[in-house]
Homo-oligomer: A and B are copies of this chain.
Amino acid sequence: MAVIATKDTRLVVQGITGREGTFHALRNRDYGTNVVAGVTPGRAGQDVEGIPVFDAVVDAVEQQGANTALVIVPPRFAAEAILEAAEAGVAQIICITEGIPAHDMLEVYHYIRPRGIHLLGPNCPGALSPGIANIGIIPAEVFKPGPIGLMSRSGTLTYQIGGELAAKGLGNSTIIGLGGDPVIGTSFIDALDLFQADDETEFIVMVGEIGGNEEEKAAEVIAERITKPVVAYIAGFEAPPGKTMGHAGAIISGSAGTAAAKQEALEAKGVRVGTNPTEAAQIMADLVGNR
């Protein structure tokens, strides 16, 4: 079945007439994703290579049955775009946009969460279920179908590990890019629960990085309720405290959020942690091979 990006996905792309929006909407459709609509205020009635454009998400829901939204709009409009999709009744929202103010995301998070709406991102590459559907900007070329669920706070690092797995002949059920911001809609724990419930996922790779304590919290959940094998990799052992390492969320605050602490927490719960992407991929390959 895979998760998030599935054969049931009916995608509306918010910001479809923008340069990036058009590019990725068409790329996603070319991959096989069912892109049913786009939204750009004031552009209703137009189309983007056959994809109908609406003024508002609610129109895409009512007229095209959209059930998933991909948000590719500038940061100052992104929080509102997510809220619009949420209010329009879209159950699953993927936000690519980088640079959304953290307070905006606090508001979004506490609006959607009690209402049972799922958000992936922001500042994430999206979700790809190889051979099924691709939502967002993940380069599908790098991945192949298989039993490994891959979840990550970093885009290129995911591609790196996915590429190494593919080179070893291994593939993925779904690749979930969680996003590099301090407040994201889908945490490692949420993704773990999705993978645990997914029939096509047999193994899980977790790619973390410095900042926050989501990896530590995930370690608890893995010990508690995840029966599928998990292999991890953490980036940022050499990162100095107090500096934002590219991602807004990748920052060690005081003594909290270090890579060493995350590795320790995971290993304490029996999760094997690779020291570099290559080693992490190799550990997973060995695990799959030993099955």
Majority secondary structure, A binding face: helix
- Chain B residue nearest to A112 (CB atoms) is B114
Q: For residue A115, which residues in chain B have a CB less than 8 angstroms away from its CB?
A: 114
State which residues 1-18 of A face B: CB under 8 Å.
none
Tally of chain A residues near chain B (CB < 8 A): 2
* Interface membership of chain A positions 98-125, coded 1 if the CB is closer than 8 angstroms to chain B and 0 otherwise: 0000000000000000110000000000
Q: Closest CB-CB distance, A49 to chain B, in whole Å?
A: 38
Min CB–CB distance A89 → chain B (angstroms):
14
Residue numbers in B under 8 Å from A114 (CB-CB):
114-115
Q: How far is the CA of A78 from the CA of B115 in the complex (A)?
A: 25
Docked complex: A109-145 residues within 8 A CB-CB of B: 114-115
A115 and B115 CA atoms in complex are apart in Å by: 8
What distance in Å separates the Cβ of A107 from its nearest Cβ neighbour in chain B?
13
Complex Cα distance, B114 from A114, in Å, reads 5
Closest to A111 in B: B114
- Nearest chain B CB to A91 CB, angstrom units: 14
Closest to A115 in B: B114
Task: State A115–B116 Cα separation when bound (angstroms).
Answer: 10
In the complex, residue of chain B having the shortest beta-carbon distance to the beta carbon of A113: B114
Q: How far is the CA of A125 from the CA of B74 in the complex (A)?
A: 51
Which residues in window 269-291 of A have CB below 8 A to B? none
| Chain A, range 125-183, C-beta contacts under 8 Å to B | none
Min CB distance A278 to B, Å, is: 45
Closest-by-CB residue of B relative to A116 is B114
The residue on B at minimum CB distance from A114 is: B114
CB distance from A139 to the nearest CB of B (A): 37
Q: Shortest CB–CB separation between residue A276 and chain B, in angstroms?
A: 43
Complex CA–CA separation, A196 to B115 (angstroms): 26
**Cα–Cα distance between A114 and B115 once the two chains are bound (Å):** 6
Bound complex: CA of A85 vs CA of B244, how far in Å?
38
Q: Could you tell me the distance between the alpha carbons of A114 and B86 in the complex, rounded to whole angstroms? A: 13
A254 to B144 Cα, complex, angstroms? 64
Minimum Cβ distance to chain B for residue A245 (Å): 35
A/B interface sample: 2 pairs, CB < 8 A: A114-B114, A114-B115
Closest 2 A-B residue pairs measured CB to CB? A114-B114, A114-B115
